[in-house]
Chains A and B, each alone.
Chain A
Amino acid sequence: MKRTLLSLALGTAVSLAGISAASAGTLDDVKAKGFIQCGVSQGLIGFSNPDDKNNWTGLDVDFCRAVAGAVFGDGQKVKFTPLSAKERFTALQSGEVDILSRNTTWTMGRDTSLGLVFAGVTYYDGQGFMVKKSLGVDSSLKLDGASVCTQTGTTTELNLADYFRANNMKYEVVAFEKADEVIAAYDSGRCDVFTTDQSGLYAERLKLKNPDENVVLPEIISKEPLGPVVRQGDDAWFNVVKWTYFALLNAEEAGVTAANAGDMMANSTDPGVRRLLGVEGDFGKAIGLENSWAANAIKAVGNYGEMFDRNVGPETNLKIGRGVNALWNKGGIQYAPPVR
């Protein structure tokens, strides 16, 4: 019972005065141990998914690699801990992971009462529904009386209850702890409907026996801003994570890519790019890193656009367009403060 152990670990950790997780500087700890422990999902295609050789890929995974690039100049200095939705916050609170990058929705409750803070939004998502085509349903408003499979301990199960109540519809919920159990139950006919974040629906659909016999309904019923989480009260580490995210966005905006970052460092005359890549100014030192921190992060995983396209974009199996995740000057809402 890993979850119980985690919770006990939390209990013990908070019981021992002085060893409390929040009091130690995560940045120093990470530098001392030489790698970042990154909490990810137990397998969600496009976000964090291991292959048969335990190589992790995905947007959330790449974000951790970017942070590792910024801290160590090497994107491979990351170890991944797969966590269920239920385990994730306890794992971060107890110090088992340094950063939680696991398609986790930013909500006020989580931001304020768990001793954690969200460092940014790496993917703007929303909750949707998937049903079997044979049911002949074309709108989630026609789901009255349906059985719905979902994952326990998520915002999804709360939105689900809200949505059906708001629309005066009845439903039966079947909640499992692991995403794989949810999708297996849906596939075996236990439920009529599978619900999670829409990106997750497209990703999980690929795991079904007959993906083409299932359809994602058009409605989006919630806002699900997904982003990395760190412990509250550890500002140095929070800054590193937050500004790594901003650096990836700024890089896309300025046209810096994994391929041309080295070249731009040497030759670019654009002062914005020179500051971002650490050629001018001491911005890296200000957050306790090398001045080339952003350049190293970009070299590790590319800019935000490259990361998006490689993992979830139109060329991948998920075929998700940029939509609201495009930069602010391209019609989306991804926006980063300048490096200045």
Chain B
Amino acid sequence: MSVTTGVDGPPKVAFFNDPKVRAIGIQAILIAVLLFFGWQIIQNTLANLEKANIASGWGFLDTAAGFDLSFTLIPYSESSTYGRAITVGILNTILVAFCGIITATIIGFLVGVMRLSKNWLVSKVAEIYIEVMRNVPLLIQMFIWYKVVLAALPSPRSAWSIADTIFLSNRGITIPKFIWGDGAWMIAVAVIAAIIGIVILSKWAHKRQEATGEQFPVFLTSLGILIGLPLLTYLALGSPVEFEFPEQGNFNLRGGVGLVPEFAALYFALSIYTAAFIAEIVRSGILAVNKGQTEASYALGLRPGPALRLVVIPQAMRVIIPPLASQYLNLTKNSSLAVAIGFPELVAAGGTVMNQSGQAVEIIAIWMAVYLTISLLTSAFMNWFNNRMKLVER
């Protein structure tokens, strides 16, 4: 084929009039301008901070913090660095977001399904729950939970206890601390082996059901493996784990590990508030599935439970997942309200660092970067999940 045969070929245009070149050129210029603008802002900020004699830079992250935090997942003391204090905050944020998301999802699905129940009482209870919880501001709910938790529980001197091992007081829940002995890592290996076994089992059961139609009690067997295997390992090793039991001290319980009431208040408030929104999302998802699907599954002889579980919900998930992801992101970001009830998550811990070190711009940058990262990871996971749950067209 010849390109230069004349009339049929595209007319020759000047280089700068080529639409392709133009499109790319304009975008390149725009990006360059944006980068230059951002660079200017950073340079100006640095220059002006210096002019105002305000210290800047990241060196402060290695300075000793000098303050304590009430709840840490990693070893932390007042001689740890500012950087570590922020890490403690990040981990606390992730912990409360993770627990909150799981609980909110469970409650949300339950309430969402309840709302659609034909039973008048059940559906009204769900409706009242949703309307109350999603219309009262989260911060107020948090304060209420905190006051309730503190007011309802006794002082540590008269703490409620279960067989002197688990204590509940207005200082939180205290449980015995595990002290890992020799060979205790084998138990962790056993847990991992159990999980792998469960995955293989469920795949096998699925295949068998597709081939023969026979069902296998996967759930109960899995539970048995998950508890049994580590327990057997534990006994076979001769009980390598010791417990440090909490006991009454002068002021607080000594020993053991504790969960502070601030965490409980934050966790309850976040889960229950977000669950109300998730319930509505679930309801909308279920209602989006054509009624014919339900009728068809009844016609095939499925009872309402399995019909909902096997036919309706899998199709509803397509509608549910995208808004559900937004709720997860909201929950994570809402955890920053904990600053009001004294739980040291990212904003509270970072705020303390900001005030003690005076490095406001850097801390704000860290906050933004961390929330952005957590949110993008959550989104990425939910997108992956959404792709998996898509209708598979055969």
Question: Across the A-B interface, how many residue pairs have beta carbons closer than 8 Å?
Answer: 155
CA distance A144 to B252 in the complex (A): 9
Interface contact B54-A85, CB-CB below 8 Å:
no
- Could you tell me which B residues sit within 8 Å of A by CB distance? 41, 44-45, 47-49, 51-55, 66-70, 78-79, 147, 150-151, 155, 170-171, 249-252, 254, 260-262, 339-342, 344, 348, 351-352, 354-356, 358, 360-361, 363-364
Contacts of B44 on A, CB cut-off 8 Å?
Answer: 14-17
Tell me if A172 counts as interface (CB < 8 A to partner B).
Answer: yes
Interface contact A177-B339, CB-CB below 8 Å:
yes
Interface contact B342-A145, CB-CB below 8 Å:
no
Interface contact A115-B339, CB-CB below 8 Å:
no
Interface contact B45-A175, CB-CB below 8 Å:
no
Interface contact B249-A11, CB-CB below 8 Å:
no
- Chain A contact-residue range equals 35 or more
Residue of A nearest to B258 (CB): A172
Interface contact B360-A90, CB-CB below 8 Å:
yes
- Could you tell me which A residues sit within 8 Å of B by CB distance? 3-4, 7-8, 10-11, 14-17, 20-23, 85-86, 89-90, 93, 109-110, 113-115, 135, 142-147, 152-154, 157-158, 160-162, 165, 171-177, 181, 185, 188-190, 192, 231-233
Interface contact A146-B250, CB-CB below 8 Å:
yes
Interface contact A162-B41, CB-CB below 8 Å:
no
Interface contact B78-A11, CB-CB below 8 Å:
no
Interface contact B70-A8, CB-CB below 8 Å:
no
Interface contact A14-B68, CB-CB below 8 Å:
no
CA distance A165 to B78 in the complex (A): 9
Interface contact A11-B251, CB-CB below 8 Å:
no
- What distance in Å separates the Cβ of B73 from its nearest Cβ neighbour in chain A? 16
Interface contact A161-B342, CB-CB below 8 Å:
no
Interface contact A23-B51, CB-CB below 8 Å:
yes
Interface contact A7-B361, CB-CB below 8 Å:
yes
A144-B340 contact in complex given A113-B55, A174-B70, C-beta closer than 8 Å: no
Interface contact A153-B170, CB-CB below 8 Å:
no
Interface contact A14-B52, CB-CB below 8 Å:
yes
- What distance in Å separates the Cβ of B120 from its nearest Cβ neighbour in chain A? 40
Interface contact A173-B70, CB-CB below 8 Å:
yes
Residue of B nearest to A21 (CB): B52
Residue of A nearest to B49 (CB): A14
CA distance A181 to B55 in the complex (A): 31
Interface contact A144-B45, CB-CB below 8 Å:
no
CA distance A23 to B155 in the complex (A): 55
Say which residue of B47, B54, B352, B360 sits within 8 Å of A152 (CB atoms): B352
Most buried by A among B52, B261, B344: B52
- What distance in Å separates the Cβ of B348 from its nearest Cβ neighbour in chain A? 7
Contacts of A189 on B, CB cut-off 8 Å?
Answer: 150, 155, 170
Residue of A nearest to B348 (CB): A152
Interface contact B358-A89, CB-CB below 8 Å:
yes
